[in-house]
Structure 1
Amino acid sequence: MQLRGLVADTRPLANDHFRRLWVANIVTVVGAQLTIVAVPAQIYADTGSSAYVGLTGVFGLVPLVVFGLWGGALADVFDRRTLLVVSTCGLIGTSALFWLQAALGSTNVWLLLSLFAVQQAFFAVNQPTRSAVLPRLLAPELLPAANSLNMTVFQAGAIAGPLVAGVLIPFTGFSWLYLVDTITLFATLSAVLRLPRLRVERGPGQERARTPGLRSVVEGVLVLRHHPVLMMSFVVDIVAMVFGMPRALFPEIAHESFLGPETGGLAFALLFAAIPAGAVVGGVLSGWVSRVDAQGRAVIVCILVWGVAITGFGVAVGLAALGDGWRTPMLLAAVLMLAVGGAADMASAAFRSAMLMTAASDEMRGRLQGIFIVVVAGGPRVADVTHGAVAALVGTAVTTAGGGILVVVGTVVAALAVPSFVRYRLSSAPVAAG
């Protein structure tokens, strides 16, 4: 009984629609990760320039922000099943075009970057719509468990995908990786086609659908002003990611602190795999999340654990400089700290996503999920820039340890500033309407 209470809560899988989506995601997430690895690898192979590879950040972030917000507005107007079908077909089409250009031997980097931008646009529409669907399929008390199951699959793919791609690219080239991604996406399309019609449920006086334009997007942002709990769910994530996500420093840390080669190596691989590995373990052992009613307090605790873990990671990096005898144990300590942080971040994300799903009315869920996608994707990218700039001035150890401390301080300040967030309970969740 104790073991059953510890491992992941699988009750959401009793729902046929969720189970089909989840099983399909197991198949498609590895294919998606193959493309995520193949695009920058192909750009570098074609150009030999890291500057061109860096452009994937711009070509990926801009459509993610624009279409993430607009996609959320679309999800609050149109039948969500229809929107999922269209966006999934768009993802299949762009993956097929990736395969075609690679199969034809194209070396046009701008074509590749443009396809990447289109793919990210379809992804940005698909994800908030998919999240907005879950509260219509599952009871509120099952949403944390459902989010944990989804995130566990995603993080497992984040580990397996790069490893598989790294092995296959020298033997198969890029086209086969894109083809696998294209084929696996049909599993998701099949699951989506079997969903029921999911028209938006509107409140009194809102029977008429709004136009999914700029005004609708702005309404989704402005509603947060009147719902501090929802606003704080975004603020604490921004604090955690902007100050505490040191992934941009992993190559330098692996090379300089742990004496790995400039082009990768064991330390490099361990650092990049540690956070998703911790998230997977946290997801497997996530049975407890369904029993937590005080979700606001749980989010605060999880982010504090994340901040302490990142601080510990920075200390381990600093101690590695003491000499050869310190490097191996400090590498293990650094990996352990990142894994603990990954498990805490997984739990925090599961709670925050569930809070957003249950505290918002159905007519607002799409737009708020769009904002969620932008925050989740944008925070780490801002962290890449800030951590890189600060590390150039004070070094990687001080940057990472200091960032972890700022996460703790910022989270405590946020909790004190908005005590209603800490007091938030699933059993008494208010509803945010448009």
Structure 2
Amino acid sequence: MTGVKEARPRGARRWAIDLRPLGVPAYRRVWLGNAVAMFGFQFTAVAVPVEMFDLTGGSFWVGLLGIAGFVPLLVFGLWGGAVADARDRRRVLLGGGALLWASTLALLLQSLLRVGSPVLLLVLVAVQSIAFAITSPTRSAILPRLVPADLVPAASTLNFTTFTATSVFGPLAAGLIFATWRTDVGLPIAYGVDGLLFTVSLWATLRLPAMPPEPDPDSAGTPRKAGLASIVDGLRYLATTPVLLLSFAIDLIAMILAMPRALFPELAHERFGGGAAVGWLYSAIAIGAMLGGLTSGWIGRVRRQGVVLVVAVVGWGVAIAAAGMARQLWLVVALLGLAGAADLVSATLRQSMLLIYAPDRMRGRLQGVNTVVVAGGPRLGDLRAGAMAAASGTTVAMVGGGLASAVLAVLLVTVFPALLRYRAAGAGERT
């Protein structure tokens, strides 16, 4: 790792995003590969629900995509984290990446052949979720090996901001595809772009050095195994840190009760006449997160991280509820953008807290739990939103869910205040 000279930020630099991690060559390559691949993945993230809605004509089946993604995450996310702690992390990334690439090519093939099967879409989404569950904990766990410890919060913020930037421009580009071509033509184009761009991520992973697991001081030299006992050991460690448990809990509340993305195809069709509107809706949350990330220099200096995390989660829910009541596209996009900015703050604080708390030998397993929470929560939210919209309409699904998430988050931290007491390491207090 390469040291980076520390300097006190001045003026606008106090707010501008911290780019110092890009001075580390290994991190820079991984960041570039992931950025290109994530941009491509956004085409599939829009194309799959659009295809499902086109095949079935309702949001309920779109919501089922959430279950298809969540169940593999629940099973393989925890196992993938254990594998990341027991195997060479570079090899784990290569194996999971190859599976993810193959599932994307399968989506392309079924669209070219016009199979038209909702069940096949669910299966392929499940396969993608398995691959993601294997690679995501590993990709996060290698971060402290790529950059110095003092740059971990900045690198986490940079990763999340880059992801949100791709989540802005990717769906907008996908929306243009579906606005320009018929769905049966646009789908192969979207899947093909994803498959092509993912090759850059594979290249970046190939350039990584070997990353074998660090020795476990309690194992007396015995090789670590990626089995049930290893998973239980990670969960036992997590159970001793109530701050992390509470941070996961309020994130689950926010995502399950307020995530609105399963409603976007129906919302675009009914309120805004379809077309490019679906791209704006899928991009809106990411637009806010990207803008929040570009002005995120202050996040690394926050000491009352627990309080700020809670405020961000409550802000997310309130903004989603307000967006559910808006009737102008620009206003919905603006309110979803506010929600996205709040989500960036909560996500980067939670990830930084987790990486700094956990020793390297535990990071894979705890990142596996984090993958289940961060990626699984929104998928359960998709099911909740789709089912609620089918019963009561999109407005009730968004407004009710957003307000419920804000209220429950406040109640949880009031009853269990450990998260509110948490301060960043180095501030003289650690819960």
Q: Same fold (TM over 0.5)?
A: yes
One of 193, 197, 208 as aligned partner of 2:210: 197
SS at match of 2:93: helix
2:288 alignment counterpart: 278
2:69 alignment counterpart: 60
1:424 alignment counterpart: 422
Deviation larger for 383-392 or 367-376: 383-392
2:176 alignment counterpart: 167
1:366 alignment counterpart: 364
Q: CA deviation at 1:341?
A: 1.3
2:236 alignment counterpart: 222
Render the CA deviation track for 1:338-387: whole Å, top value 9, x for unaligned: 21111011111011011111111212111111111111122223333434
2:261 alignment counterpart: 247
SS at match of 2:142: helix
Change (3 A) 1:111 1:154: same
Matches for 1:18-417 after TM superposition, within 5 Å: 18-42=27-51, 47=55, 50=58, 55-103=64-112, 111-168=120-177, 170=181, 173-206=186-219, 207-250=221-264, 259-261=271-273, 264=274, 269-314=279-324, 317=325, 327-328=327-328, 332-390=330-388, 397=395, 400-417=398-415
CA distance, structure 1, for counterparts of residue 70 and residue 256 of structure 2: 15
TM-score (norm 2): 0.84
2:21 alignment counterpart: 12
2:6 alignment counterpart: none
CA distance, structure 2, for counterparts of residue 142 and residue 86 of structure 1: 28
Q: CA deviation at 1:312?
A: 3.6
CA distance, structure 1, for counterparts of residue 107 and residue 13 of structure 2: 43
Change (3 A) 1:408 1:98: closer
CA distance, structure 2, for counterparts of residue 374 and residue 339 of structure 1: 24
CA distance, structure 1, for counterparts of residue 162 and residue 43 of structure 2: 15
SS at match of 1:76: helix
Q: CA deviation at 1:79?
A: 1.2
Change (3 A) 1:85 1:235: same
TM-score (norm 1): 0.84
Please say if residues 94 and 118 of structure 1, whose CA atoms lie closer than 8 Å, have aligned partners that are also in contact: yes
SS at match of 2:211: coil
User: What letter corresponds to residue 27 of structure 2 in structure 1?
Assistant: F
Deviation larger for 123-132 or 56-65: 56-65
Deviation larger for 286-295 or 362-371: 286-295
CA distance, structure 1, for counterparts of residue 390 and residue 188 of structure 2: 38
Change (3 A) 1:4 1:193: same
CA distance, structure 2, for counterparts of residue 278 and residue 22 of structure 1: 21
Please say if residues 175 and 278 of structure 2, whose CA atoms lie closer than 8 Å, have aligned partners that are also in contact: no
SS at match of 2:272: coil
CA distance, structure 2, for counterparts of residue 292 and residue 158 of structure 1: 26
Q: CA deviation at 1:65?
A: 2.0
Change (3 A) 1:165 1:308: closer
Structure 2 segments unaligned to the other structure (5+ residues) = 1-9
Please say if residues 361 and 431 of structure 1, whose CA atoms lie closer than 8 Å, have aligned partners that are also in contact: no
Change (3 A) 1:98 1:394: closer
Change (3 A) 1:179 1:255: closer
SS at match of 1:9: coil
SS at match of 1:293: coil
CA distance, structure 1, for counterparts of residue 390 and residue 64 of structure 2: 21
CA distance, structure 2, for counterparts of residue 408 and residue 31 of structure 1: 33
CA distance, structure 1, for counterparts of residue 402 and residue 252 of structure 2: 13
Q: CA deviation at 1:398?
A: 5.6
